[in-house]
Amino acid sequence: MQTTLLSGIQSPADLKKLPIDRLPQLAAEIRHAICDQISRSGGHLAPNLGVVELSIALHYVFDFGHDRLLFDVGHQCYPHKLLTGRQPLLGKLRQRGGMAGFPDPRESDYDLFMVGHAGTGISTAVGMARGDQLNGDAASAGSSDGRRVVTLVGDASIVNGVAMEGLNNAGTLKRQFLVVLNDNGMSIAKPQGAMAAYFDRVRLSHSYGEFKKAAKDLAKRIPGGGVLADAYHRMGEMSKAMISEDAWFEKFGLVTVGPIDGHDLPTLIDFLNEAREFDRPMLLHVKTVKGKGFEFAEGDSCTFHSPSPFDVVAGDGGDDAKLVSEGCRVELKKSGRSFTSAVGEAMVELMNRDEKVVACTAAMPDGTGIAKVLEAHPDRAWDTGICESHAADMMAGLAKTGWKPFMAVYSTFLQRAFDQCFQEASLQGLPLRLLLDRAGLVGGDGAVHHGFCDVSLLRVLPDACLMAAMDEPSLEAAIEFMAGHDRGLSALRYPRDKVSDLFTDDPCPPFEFGKARALLRHERPDLAVLGYGVMAIEAVDAARELEGEYRIDVYDARFAKPVDHALLSDLLGRGIPVVTVEDHSIVGGFGAAVLEACSEHGLDGRLVTRLALPDGWIHQGSRSEQLAEAGLDAASIARAIRDRLDQVPVVDTAGTPAKAEAVRR
């Protein structure tokens, strides 16, 4: 398809020049452009396909160069970006120098916040609405050109606790404020809980079709200019007529309209034009289809929520190089076995053997591997929806009643449940077990999703046991250890990456509390590297690069709390320099734990060099690029080792200073 209309949209001003009857063509072109690019680079597909018309209508009605548009779930921002001058960045989606996969103010003034966690949009929008009011810039301040505020909520993030807090405050505003609820019947996976069931009932209401027609007729009859204020009671009665109960959001003080068809552009524009002039908080309930426009994405929106690159093979002898919406087969490109898959299988096997083990995830069954557990043990596994705090508390309750709870969660989303890990788990001495997916650098998702602070957060909790897996055998051994560890909270971190097979042919010893595992060892090493998690594999590659130049020992540290005090005492007591390597922040991470252990046990911390993520932000790109930028790939580790031994005096076995050259092989 030739993108004749899309190529002419350099800003929303160009969009507003198009007649409404041309907008469906523009929507089709946007869908094609997004799907074509994601098939090459990967990215969030289904959520963006579902909001194309909604994004067009919002920019057609509002002026977000002046008005405020805030996203709740940032991964549905691609159409918005294409309409706001960022088409040239699409070809490098989620890559260095290209379009970020989430809203990013570095790219454009049309993006107000970097957004990667659900539930935040309403609260930040309330803050901006209040700020504009205080500045005298609000739409209700008596000025026709005042700033309007819109927040777009989707993928079931409305059930998040923070969203509820935001709604509770939004209803107190005395000005224009619009929440657009993109209700696609999906979260990242199938949404869970009572609210999801409520929305299902609304979507399945027999009166929906009648309401859609009546609403369109009403919009035609209403003269322009803020008339929803006068027609509020009529609109409210129509809404109540189509829902079996009262409009739920009106309990928060928001006028509730809908649901309306989120793919019917004229209806969307009609309603948004009226909502633009409404001087009270309003929620517009919009019904959309996740993955809209491509049969394979609509039919499996979980798989195509954020797929890796894929090939589309047309049916019936069609052109298999051309993206088609129907009658095609999609083949995801494989990149090797992932830690996530390994976790899912290890948990199923553990639960087959131990009937006291239970598991949960917070809306990420596929992303954490727990989908396999939900299928194999539906009576002992749960997807709680987007509510990490609830999930952690629920698992603490299960621990209190004698079960062995495992909670699988992205490292970046664990942050939202820290209070529960503290209060309801650690403080009670309960063995909550955390499986921390996406720990470290995550590649294309960038700064909003890096798991860079789980060690520093959890290490402060008394009796916490913190571990990292370097490969699949060590992951399985760590999970086995966790199942039998009842002394308090435990956590296992692993990256969004494929598992290494470097040591899979070697026996993997069981995890012993606070003990590291030797991977490469010499009788008299020049230096020892303690790699935390997958960084041990990078360290081995670095050590092998230096063979013939230095004798480098490498250890899989395994534990960040407690660290292996005996190993540190042995190495540092013999004057052997130690380099710690971790894909975690240098602030409060594994290296910091090593230095604290040195201080506690009277060891010479001057012999310790820390390699870790810098105290700054690393943005989208490939994981390998990000590791190199942080100085954590094998080549960078080798350079750091060489610099340490070449430039800094070391201590020989007699305890006297010696030049680095003296310890060369």
Q: Mind giving me the DSSP string for 161-173?
A: HHHHHHHHHHTT-
Q: Averaged over 374-391, what is the pLDDT?
A: 93
Does residue 333 belong to any structural domain of this protein?
Answer: no
Does residue 306 belong to any structural domain of this protein?
Answer: no
- Judged by DSSP in three states, 264 sits in coil
Domain that holds residue 224: 6-287
**DSSP state for residue 186 in the 8-state scheme:** -
Residue for token digits 């399945």? 204
Q: What is the pLDDT of residue 195?
A: 52
Does residue 318 belong to any structural domain of this protein?
Answer: no
Checking if the pLDDT of 571 tops 60, the result is yes
Residue among 265, 198, 195, 280 at smallest CA distance from 235: 280
Do 251 and 149 have their domain in common? yes
Do 350 and 234 have their domain in common? no
Do 612 and 487 have their domain in common? no
Checking if the pLDDT of 393 tops 50, the result is yes
Q: What is the pLDDT of residue 543?
A: 97
Q: pLDDT (tens digit, 9 = 90+) per residue, 56-67?
A: 999 999 999 999
Does residue 298 belong to any structural domain of this protein?
Answer: no
Band the pLDDT of 78: cuts 50, 70, 90. Answer: very high
Residue 402 sits in a domain of what CATH number?
A: 3.40.50.970
Q: Averaged over 464-482, what is the pLDDT?
A: 98
Q: What is the pLDDT of residue 192?
A: 53
475: left (phi over 0), alpha (psi -120 to 50) or beta: alpha
Higher pLDDT, 60 or 136: 60
Residue for token digits 């993006």? 111
- In one-letter notation, the amino acid at residue 482 is M
Q: Is the dihedral of CA 451, 456, 462, 465 positive or negative?
A: positive
Burial class of residue 509 (count of CB atoms within 10 Å of its CB; 0-12, 13-18, 19+): middle
Do 648 and 575 have their domain in common? yes
Does residue 139 belong to any structural domain of this protein?
Answer: yes
Residue at which a domain ends, from 265, 287, 309:
287
Question: What are the beta bridge partners of residue 406?
Answer: 359, 433
Checking if the pLDDT of 41 tops 60, the result is yes
- Furthest CA-CA distance within the chain: 94
Whether the Cβ atoms of residue 122 and residue 93 lie closer than 8 Å to each other: no
Highest-confidence range of 155-159, 166-170, 530-534, by mean pLDDT?
Answer: 530-534
Q: pLDDT (tens digit, 9 = 90+) per residue, 428-456?
A: 999 999 999 999 999 888 888 899 999 99
CA atoms of 530 and 517, how far apart (whole Å): 9
CA angle, 49 as apex, 1 and 124 as ends, to 5°?
135
Q: Averaged over 615-640, what is the pLDDT?
A: 93
Band the pLDDT of 242: cuts 50, 70, 90. Answer: very low
Do 476 and 569 have their domain in common? no
The tokens for 495 are: 């990256």
Determine which one of 290, 517, 561, 644 is catalytic: 290
Q: What is the DSSP string of 335-348?
A: ---BHHHHHHHHHH
CA atoms of 299 and 659, how far apart (whole Å): 66
CA atoms of 395 and 375, how far apart (whole Å): 19
Q: Is the dihedral of CA 567, 570, 572, 578 positive or negative?
A: negative
Do 223 and 267 have their domain in common? yes
Q: Is the dihedral of CA 495, 568, 502, 621 positive or negative?
A: positive
Checking if the pLDDT of 120 tops 70, the result is yes
Do 524 and 651 have their domain in common? yes
Reply yes or no on whether 290 is catalytic.
Answer: yes
CA dihedral angle for residue 50, residue 52, residue 57, residue 58, rounded to 10 degrees: 80
Q: Averaged over 488-503, what is the pLDDT?
A: 95
Checking if the pLDDT of 230 tops 70, the result is no
Q: Averaged over 299-323, what is the pLDDT?
A: 63
Band the pLDDT of 252: cuts 50, 70, 90. Answer: confident
Higher pLDDT, 533 or 101: 533
Do 533 and 427 have their domain in common? no
Do 19 and 142 have their domain in common? yes
Question: What are the beta bridge partners of residue 445?
Answer: none
Residue 207: count other Cβ atoms within 10 Å of its Cβ.
14
| pLDDT-above-90 percentage for the chain | 65
Name the least confident of 124-128, 445-449, 590-594.
445-449
Higher pLDDT, 53 or 290: 53
Helices (H) and strands (E) in the chain, counts: 25, 21
Q: Averaged over 447-473, what is the pLDDT?
A: 95
Does residue 523 belong to any structural domain of this protein?
Answer: yes
Residue 576 sits in a domain of what CATH number?
A: 3.40.50.920
Q: Is the dihedral of CA 449, 451, 452, 456 positive or negative?
A: positive
Q: pLDDT (tens digit, 9 = 90+) per residue, 318-373?
A: 443 345 555 445 556 666 799 999 999 999 999 999 999 999 999 889 999 999 99
Q: Averaged over 585-601, what is the pLDDT?
A: 97
Does residue 331 belong to any structural domain of this protein?
Answer: no
Q: pLDDT (tens digit, 9 = 90+) per residue, 79-101?
A: 999 999 999 999 999 888 899 88
Do 213 and 259 have their domain in common? yes
Q: What is the pLDDT of residue 646?
A: 87
Q: What is the CA radius of gyration of the chain?
A: 27
Beta strands in 121-254 (DSSP E): 149-154, 177-183
Burial class of residue 483 (count of CB atoms within 10 Å of its CB; 0-12, 13-18, 19+): buried
Reply yes or no on whether 210 is catalytic.
Answer: no
Higher pLDDT, 236 or 640: 640
CA atoms of 613 and 626, how far apart (whole Å): 10
Residue at which a domain ends, from 461, 493, 525:
493
Q: What is the DSSP string of 102-124?
A: S--TTT-TT--S---STT-HHHH
- In one-letter notation, the amino acid at residue 567 is L
Mean pLDDT of the chain: 85
Residue among 72, 176, 69 at smallest CA distance from 121: 72
Checking if the pLDDT of 225 tops 50, the result is no
CA–centroid distance for 260 within its chain = 29
C-alpha distances (whole Å) from 75 to each of 46, 151, 382, 452 are 10, 14, 24, 20
pTM above 0.75, yes or no: yes
Do 353 and 450 have their domain in common? yes
Does residue 313 belong to any structural domain of this protein?
Answer: no
Band the pLDDT of 218: cuts 50, 70, 90. Answer: very low
The tokens for 317 are: 């002898």
Residue 624: count other Cβ atoms within 10 Å of its Cβ.
12
| pLDDT-above-70 percentage for the chain | 83
The tokens for 465 are: 């046991």
> How many domains, in total, are found in the chain?
3
Q: What is the pLDDT of residue 204?
A: 39
The answer, yes or no, to whether the previous bond of 105 is cis (omega within 30 of 0) is no
Whether the Cβ atoms of residue 553 and residue 521 lie closer than 8 Å to each other: yes
Q: Averaged over 154-174, what is the pLDDT?
A: 86
CA atoms of 601 and 608, how far apart (whole Å): 14
Whether the Cβ atoms of residue 52 and residue 293 lie closer than 8 Å to each other: yes
Band the pLDDT of 118: cuts 50, 70, 90. Answer: confident
The tokens for 39 are: 């098939």
Q: Averaged over 261-276, what is the pLDDT?
A: 93
Determine which one of 298, 388, 472, 582 is catalytic: 388
Reply yes or no on whether 642 is catalytic.
Answer: no
Band the pLDDT of 221: cuts 50, 70, 90. Answer: very low
Measured distance between the N- and C-terminal CA atoms of the chain, rounded to whole angstroms? 64
Do 216 and 82 have their domain in common? yes
Determine which one of 175, 416, 438, 517 is catalytic: 416
80: left (phi over 0), alpha (psi -120 to 50) or beta: alpha
CA atoms of 614 and 447, how far apart (whole Å): 13
